[in-house]
Amino acid sequence: MSTRLDWISHPAGALRGELRVPGDKSISHRALMLAALAEGRSCIEGFLEGEDTRATAAVLQQLGVRITAPADGVRMIDGAGLRGLRASAQPLDCGNAGTGMRLLAGLLAGQSFDSTLVGDASLSRRPMRRVIDPLTAMGARIDSSDGLPPLHIHGGRNLRGATIDTPVASAQVKSSILLAGLYAEGTTEVREPQPTRDYTERMLAAFGWPITFGPGWARLEGGHRLRAADVRVPGDFSSAAFFIVAACVTPGSDLVLREVGLNPRRTGLLDTLRAMGADIAIERLGEQGGEPVGDLRVRHAPLRGIEIPVVHVADMIDECPVLFVAAASAQGRTVLRGAAELRVKESDRIAVMAAGLRRLGIAVEERPDGAAIEGGALRGGEVDSAGDHRCAMSFAVAGLVADAPVHIRDCANVATSFPGFLDTARAAGMAVTAAPATDEAAA
């Protein structure tokens, strides 16, 4: 009999003080993979101790890479070199990690051996043709279940560099192609319909691979080597986003978030919230491992509804669920367009957030690629996160400013990206508690 973890988020007072959020999940995934392919020993500090990133580490260990954890948030990786991975007799389990599976597909497409990537029930419903098709154009052979996992990747293929115009703006797709390009003969170039985060490009350069890139494009040649490098992972902006919005919407709040990654391809939420009237200041701006990092000071200010510029959407796609909560707390109507990608995340995030906010008294008009949200008074009630970590944490923020507690169903997957969320939330002044586990069949 399986159990379900629920939360109850209670109305609370102002958020004050300072806090740090866990290391960036996207950077943690990429640092593991490039360190595994490098020559020499790399050290990753600030590594996210989440289920997704641990799943990627376990896959690389199955492929023969030595990875040790001398302390919490630290990984030492003895790189196998570009051609040093070994075949695994067992499937490679990515758990719930869509980033892990898509990037590993590119990395494994150039190996001499066959591999099979599998995932949990949620990941098994996520679209993989977006990486299968461009990798196939480079000479890879990948079998799937009509574009869904599991993925069987055939080894021994001679990959060819190609110019790929990606149909979707996705850093995961771009990164998968670039990782395959390490093994390809000739030049690999990726061109995107909109610029996406450039973590992979920056990190490839840090590990010594020649690469040129700019907003919306990246180009590299095969035939080089990766050199071990030490990586310090900044705080995850997506994790910080819940507390940014919480402080924006809760009267009296004055909260500082320390050492948050501020990659310009990641911070569309800041631009959007500021356009809505938010009071957010960046302090102590610096750099860690080629990534801009700074402290964010967030003070409560009344928000107003806006039409969100589509240009910001790709730079905040993971933050859109909590943006729904900001919009619900704003005065007037907020319109989000160009976010169809939300339909194929861990859940259909547009549908999940729209349904939950309606249950809390907010008028939401759901659209194929977004929503129109009428700000209003949030009331208490019960909502279903559909097992989606970002939706669960977003509803926890909604409970702060509701007129009664919000009961959030199915929150266990928060551990994939933000272990310790409840402790961090309490430290900030939020009142979120774990509800008694209930049997799913009886719920």
Residues 395-422 have pLDDT tens digits of: 999 999 999 999 999 999 999 889 899 9
CB 253 within 8 A of CB 299: yes
Q: What per-residue confidence (pLDDT) applies to 2? A: 44
For 165-194, what is the mean pLDDT?
96
**pLDDT confidence bin for 443, thresholds 50/70/90:** very low
Q: Is 318 noted as a catalytic residue in this protein?
A: yes
Q: What per-residue confidence (pLDDT) applies to 424? A: 96
How far apart are the C-alpha atoms of 309 and 365, rounded to whole Å?
A: 18
| pLDDT tens string 114-146 | 999 999 999 999 999 999 999 999 999 999 999
**pLDDT confidence bin for 442, thresholds 50/70/90:** very low
For 182-186, what is the mean pLDDT?
98
So what CATH class is 25-232? alpha beta
Is the omega angle on the peptide bond into residue 195 within 30 degrees of 0, that is, cis? no
Compute the Cα dihedral for 162, 167, 171, 173 and give only its sign.
Answer: negative
Flag whether pLDDT at 158 surpasses 70. yes
| pLDDT tens string 258-293 | 999 999 888 999 999 999 999 999 999 998 767 899
Q: What per-residue confidence (pLDDT) applies to 3? A: 63
Q: What per-residue confidence (pLDDT) applies to 91? A: 98
Flag whether pLDDT at 439 surpasses 60. no
Domain boundaries, given as residue ranges, for the chain: 3-23+235-439, 25-232
Flag whether pLDDT at 83 surpasses 80. yes
Q: What per-residue confidence (pLDDT) applies to 246? A: 98
Closest CA to 324 of 354, 360, 359, 346: 354
| pLDDT tens string 55-77 | 999 999 999 999 999 999 999 99
pTM of the model as a whole: 0.87
**Residue 437 in 3-state DSSP?**
strand
Q: What per-residue confidence (pLDDT) applies to 265? A: 87
Which CATH code for domain 3-23+235-439? 3.65.10.10
Q: What per-residue confidence (pLDDT) applies to 1? A: 33
Residue 7 phi/psi, 5-degree rounding, is -125, 160
| pLDDT tens string 318-355 | 999 999 999 999 999 999 999 999 999 999 999 999 99
For 25-49, what is the mean pLDDT?
97
Fold equal for 3-23+235-439 and 25-232: yes
| pLDDT tens string 97-115 | 999 999 999 999 999 999 9
Q: What per-residue confidence (pLDDT) applies to 290? A: 72
Residue of 271, 315, 318, 384 marked catalytic: 318
How far apart are the C-alpha atoms of 51 and 34, rounded to whole Å?
A: 19
Q: What per-residue confidence (pLDDT) applies to 440? A: 45
Class of residue 279 by CB neighbours under 10 A (exposed 0-12, middle 13-18, buried 19+): middle
Mean of all residue pLDDT scores within the chain: 95
